Amino acid sequence: MKILAVNAGSSSLKFQLLEMPDEMVITSGIVERIGYDNAEFTIKVNDKKVTEKLEIKNHKVAVHLVVEGLIKHKIIKSLDEIKGVGHRVVQGGELFKDSAIITDEVVEKIKSLNDLAPLHNPANITGIQAFREALPDVIQVAVFDTTFHQTMNELAYLYAAPYEWYKKYGVRKYGFHGTSHQYVSERAAELLDNPNAKIIVCHLGNGASLCAVDGGKSVDTSMGLTPLEGIPMGTRSGNVDPAVLMLIAAKENKTYAEVLDDLNKKSGYLGVSGISNDSRDIIDNMNKGDYRSMLAHKIQIKRIADYIGSYYVYMGGLDAIVFTAGIGENSPEIRKGILEAISVLGVTVDEEQNSKRGERMVSTSDSRVKAFIIPTNEEVMIAREVIRLENL
């Protein structure tokens, strides 16, 4: 059964076609710069990337390019082969505690959450509507970044702010990267042969979050109402004193929205180093003696260690730490820095294994707390959800 997993952004559309239940990737691709006359459509054909540059006015055009491209490049013979489409949706709020088969009612509920994710949910909806038009007779499923974290209790998700803000406006921690945290924690539990394991997942990419998983359930996570909360990232600040907004707005003659934009787009690695939002550049310049790059690197490691220590106490112990996503899977320097910072918990780096890539244990065999690299696969999680809901 062929399932299409889709991630629609404001000007992009990523996709992956999978053969289920084998979980084999048939092809993948991306449409970039939607809405511009120099847009690009890239699709993998026989393990080679084929790219077209053309004008793509909107997501509806992009979706037609994708479905027609699957036939054009003989990846499928007809659209009838596609039995389901799974859509990544960033914010499900408290309305969605599970993935959902998409109906007009579900679309309206997602729209009602736009205030909680103004940059993401509208784009997700645009992709959903375009695919519903292109494949009207195919089951379509919304898979929410926030659903996995709906098992957190009030102690973890409530802010110590006026309670009315939560009741009236839904102001609380929601968390993100849920499909990744779920996939990786489930795989870690398999490797440990312990479904009740206490696991901390470090999803480290340009966007980054940690998640405490106890017995397969998310009990806390670092991102909050928005993806800005938590640890420093490529361009996001992570946690700062909220009074910073008022101070900088006054000093720089900026609006609160402009200062918030700085915290989202000009902070993190980029803000501290003044050089780049890319961890590889940060490490290269740090190794050349650049002080601010060293600061950017060590500040993030310190903040990550803070969260790990907090989650260790909150869960009453820890069986494993897992690294995933672009930086987590590919940066031995960052993994080593984090594990050395938390060595007091009983984890020691295996230098040889940590220097390699791919799924593996990167702690020594005598470590009380195990450490793993587990490559994430959000598309597989999305496809699994389509199959699960279709069979209900």
pTM: 0.93
Position 94 scores a pLDDT of: 94
Position 286 scores a pLDDT of: 96
Give the chain's radius of gyration (CA, Å): 21
Position 74 scores a pLDDT of: 92
Give yes or no for a contact between 237 and 222, defined as CB atoms under 8 angstroms apart. no
Max CA separation in the chain (angstroms): 61
Q: What is the pLDDT of residues 212-230, one digit of tens each?
A: 999 999 999 999 999 999 9
Give yes or no for a contact between 59 and 10, defined as CB atoms under 8 angstroms apart. no
Q: Is there a binding annotation on residue 278?
A: yes
Output DSSP code: residue 384: H
Output DSSP code: residue 324: E
Q: Is there a binding annotation on residue 330?
A: yes
Q: What is the DSSP string of 335-380?
A: HHHHHHHTGGGT--B-HHHHTS-SSEE-B-TT-SSEEEE----HHH
Where do the domains of the chain lie, and which CATH numbers do they carry?
2-144 (3.30.420.40), 194-378 (3.30.420.40)
Position with higher pLDDT, 8 vs 285: 285
Model confidence at 12: pLDDT above 90:
no
- Kindly provide the residue ranges of all beta strands, DSSP E only, lying in 160-312, ordered along the sequence: 198-204, 208-214, 217-221
Q: What is the pLDDT of residues 114-132, one digit of tens each?
A: 988 887 888 899 889 989 9
Q: Is there a binding annotation on residue 205?
A: yes
pLDDT, the chain, mean = 95
Q: Is there a binding annotation on residue 113?
A: no
Q: What is the pLDDT of residues 29-49, one digit of tens each?
A: 999 888 888 899 999 999 899
Q: Is there a binding annotation on residue 274?
A: no
Q: Is there a binding annotation on residue 358?
A: no
Q: Tell the burial category of 2 from Cβ atoms under 10 Å away from its Cβ (0-12, 13-18, 19+).
A: middle
Q: Is there a binding annotation on residue 279?
A: yes
Q: What is the pLDDT of residues 159-212, one digit of tens each?
A: 999 999 999 999 999 999 999 999 999 999 999 999 999 999 999 999 999 999
Position 375 scores a pLDDT of: 96
Position 392 scores a pLDDT of: 58
Q: Is there a binding annotation on residue 328?
A: yes
Q: What is the pLDDT of residues 135-161, one digit of tens each?
A: 999 999 999 999 999 999 999 999 999
Position 58 scores a pLDDT of: 87
Q: Is there a binding annotation on residue 7?
A: yes
Residues annotated as catalytic (active site), given as ranges: 145
Give yes or no for a contact between 131 and 6, defined as CB atoms under 8 angstroms apart. yes
Number of continuous H segments (helices) and E segments (strands) in the chain = 15, 14
Q: Is there a binding annotation on residue 204?
A: yes
Q: Is there a binding annotation on residue 194?
A: no
Give yes or no for a contact between 327 and 338, defined as CB atoms under 8 angstroms apart. no
**pLDDT mean over 337-354:** 98
Position 9 scores a pLDDT of: 80
pLDDT tier, 100 (very low <50, low <70, confident <90, very high otherwise): very high
